[in-house]
Amino acid sequence: MEHFLELKRKLALTLSLAIAFALLVAFVINYSVSKVSIIDGLVNKQLPLTATTISSDLRDQRLGLFVNPSPSAYQKQYLSEINYGLDQEKLNQLLELYQKQYGHNIYLVNSKWQIVAQNSQSIVNGNSNLHDISAFRELTQNINKKQASSFELQHRDDTYLVNARYLPELDWYLFVDSSASKATANIRQAFYLNLCVGLFATLTIFWLTHIAISRYQWQIKQKLSDMSASDSLTGLANRYTFDILIGHVLANAKRNQTPVSLVLLDMDLMKSAIMEHGHVVTDQLIQAVGQLIKKSIRASDVGCRWNEDKFLITLNNCLPEKATRIAESLRLSVNDYLNTHAQTMNLNLSAGVTNYHVNDTVETLVERIERALVHAQSQDNNKVMYVQAPYYTPTYMTRRLNNKLGDIKAVQMQA
């Protein structure tokens, strides 16, 4: 049983771990695919689209960002140095609006990498030149003036996705960046939530599996208990159970001085019926007789299938006269059933009855009840015969005689 319990625990644990591993793999794959999809959307769609929109607005004269929207060559020469004609306050407000609308950081840098304008939450906030930030030094060397460039950089323990494009009209660079961790925050939270759900599901499955196995184990134990304690065909006790119970019954009768009677029933000519009609038909009859016996005895009595066609009944607190009447009633009931359902088999029932004597052992009691049944069958069957206790069987008498002879020899040797 301990080995079975260990197997049960291992099975429940293995199944739960397998499901947990499968869920974890599914969650990791889903998170990875979603993260790649979000980053790809940022790099190839959102950031370039935001940069295009902002660069277009910077060219729009209606916004009034520049006092002189079309500076001369002389003015343009000094534009990057002194922000000639630039409405700095309006430009910063515009970048703040863009940041709130798109959720990205925006900043403008001149040709000398000096920061001209930025929103308040950008990663370059507090710096005047991109070269002051180590993460941007290599980036500035790879920017293409002819087309927009996309980069990925590490800054303050975070990954930033950057889109940079050159504004030839102003000789400036427009940068739009977004934090990868912030962009994937929702799916990361969903991933953690999925892990919690997966853990809960795994624990639930482990618990349900443990309960199911325990219940199945209990059913097996009950089945094995029923199989070991009762006859599978009739539902009566078997010989093993009788051997256990009879000792308790006799000890209780001796202690309380209560009468106990035994009835041994035998279906006459059953072997011939089996040879002629087979086991299937005769087993149905035996099963029916077992049910009649169960209905005829009390809960305190013990009905036992003694062998293939014999039944032994232990009647507690029952005098021999009453036991004989019960045996006769059973004989008539069984014969009525056989006459109704097995007329061609020519079967009937014989019974032997005896009672427990204070000097009896289980062996002497069984021998006497079997002798009573033999007497009944010697009267052309279909009879009930009672043998009064103490009726000593030949076996008992031989054993008792041998014991006396042994005692006599022992006395003679001592003399």
- Sequence-distant (6+) residues with CB within 8 A of 393 are 364, 367, 368, 371
Confidence of residue 187 (pLDDT cuts 50, 70, 90): confident
Mean pLDDT, the chain, whole residue set: 79
Q: Which residues pair with 154 in a beta bridge?
A: 159
163 vs 140, residue with greater confidence: 163
Confidence of residue 8 (pLDDT cuts 50, 70, 90): low
Query: What per-residue confidence (pLDDT) applies to 142?
Result: 74
Which amino acid belongs to residue 50? T
- Could you report how far apart the first and last alpha carbons of the chain are, in Å? 59
- Residue whose pair of structure tokens reads 């199944």 in the numeric block: 15
Q: Which of 19-33, 70-84, 122-136, 160-174 has the lowest mean pLDDT?
A: 70-84
pLDDT at 5 over 60: no
pLDDT at 395 over 60: no
Confidence of residue 263 (pLDDT cuts 50, 70, 90): very high
Q: Which of 255-259, 268-272, 314-318 has the lowest mean pLDDT?
A: 268-272
- For residues 229 and 342, the answer to whether their CB atoms sit within 8 Å is no
Domains, the chain, with CATH or none: 2-186 (3.30.450.20), 239-414 (3.30.70.270)
Burial track 108-131 (b if 16+ CB lie within 10 A, e otherwise)? bbbeebbbbbbbeebbbeebeebe
Query: What per-residue confidence (pLDDT) applies to 83?
Result: 55
CA–CA separation, 145 and 255 (whole Å): 113
What digits encode the pLDDT tens for the residues 277-290? Answer: 888 888 888 898 89
User: SS3 for 164?
Assistant: strand
> For the residues 397-412, what does the mean pLDDT come to?
54
- Please give the distance of CA 218 from its chain centroid, rounded to a whole number: 15
Query: What per-residue confidence (pLDDT) applies to 259?
Result: 93
- Please give the distance of CA 342 from its chain centroid, rounded to a whole number: 50
Q: Which residues pair with 349 in a beta bridge?
A: 267
- For residues 143 and 113, the answer to whether their CB atoms sit within 8 Å is no
Token pair, residue 301, equals: 């009595």
Query: What per-residue confidence (pLDDT) applies to 214?
Result: 75
Query: What per-residue confidence (pLDDT) applies to 67?
Result: 45
- Percent over 90 (pLDDT), the chain: 12
Token pair, residue 103, equals: 């959720």
- Burial of 362 (C-beta count, 10 Å sphere; 0-12/13-18/19+): middle
DSSP structural state of residue 388: P
Residue (of 135, 123, 131, 130) closest to 176 by Cα position: 123
- Percent over 70 (pLDDT), the chain: 81
Query: What per-residue confidence (pLDDT) applies to 408?
Result: 47
Q: Are strands 149-155 and 158-167 parallel, antiparallel or unpaired?
A: antiparallel
What digits encode the pLDDT tens for the residues 201-227? Answer: 888 877 877 777 777 767 766 665 555
The three-state DSSP-derived secondary structure of 96-164 is HHHHHHHCCEEEEEECCCEEEEECCCCCCCCCCEHHHCHHHHHHHHCCCCCCCEEEEEEECCEEEEEEE
What digits encode the pLDDT tens for the residues 329-355? Answer: 999 998 888 888 776 777 888 999 999
- Sequence-distant (6+) residues with CB within 8 A of 51 are 148, 163, 164, 165, 174, 176
344 vs 318, residue with greater confidence: 318
Tell me the whole-structure pTM to 2 decimals: 0.45
| Element at 384 (helix H, strand E) | strand 384-387
